[in-house]
Structure 1
Amino acid sequence: MATDWLKDPDAVLDWVWDWSDWLAPGETITTSDFTVSAGLDLDSDSNTLSSATAWLSGGEPGTPYLVANRITTSAGRTDERSITIRVKNR
């Protein structure tokens, strides 16, 4: 999921990590944690049995921010996926 995404500094947007293709049959997400580079705000986060969502705001135009989602599953597996949010006046 190493992808760049654009965001306006005034936007408050939800970003979804869909883990359903990675999870084994019957396996679910038991914990989900987000790490966000300084300067970008994690307003809230949540998860379902197969996805995790982060609501992000702020950021300085021209600055890239790394956002990572680390999950643990009902099978005891742990993985992390990251994206880069590039803030740009739109």
Structure 2
Amino acid sequence: MTMIVKDPGTRVDFAFEWGAAYPEGQALVASEWLAMPDEPGGVTIAAQTHELEQAAVTLAGGIAGHVYRVTNRVTLSDGQIDERSMTVRVEER
């Protein structure tokens, strides 16, 4: 699992590349990002996009000293559903 560190006052962009994991011709048709735990002042999904083989997110906020799990759940063109997660540790920098 990927781990990133962010400051509570920053906005951070991150992307998962999905293309290498699936046979040629598969494409992302839907993507959803979730940040847990969902708490006041916690990490939020400020923006999200997806293309044929990549899903991207902009993360904002967070409480210093807290750790969050950010998950990307995608649907592929053949109907398969998959997800990947990363850990986000929030620290004052």
* TM class, shorter-length: over 0.9
C-alpha displacement of 1:17: 0.9
Query: CA offsets, 1:38-75, max 9 Å, x none?
Result: 21111110001001011110001110011000001011
Establish whether residue 61 from structure 1 lines up as the match of residue 60 from structure 2: no
* Cα deviation digits, residues 12-37 of structure 1 (max 9, x gap): 01110111111211110000011112
Unaligned runs of 5+ in 1: none
State percent identity of aligned pairs: 34
Distance 1:3 1:68 in 2: 11
Gaps of 5+ in 2: none
Cα contact 1:23–1:50 (8 A) shared by 2:
no
Aligned to 1:70: 73
The within-5 A match list for 1:21-60 is 21-37=20-36, 38=38, 39-60=42-63
> For residues 65 and 45 of structure 2, what CA distance do their matches in structure 1 show?
19
TM-score (norm 2): 0.91
Aligned length: 89
Three-state SS of the structure 1 residue aligned to 2:20 is coil
Q: Which runs of 4+ in 1 moved over 6 A?
A: none
- Counterpart in the other structure of 1:10: 9
**CA distance in 2 between partners of 1:72 and 1:42 (Å):** 19
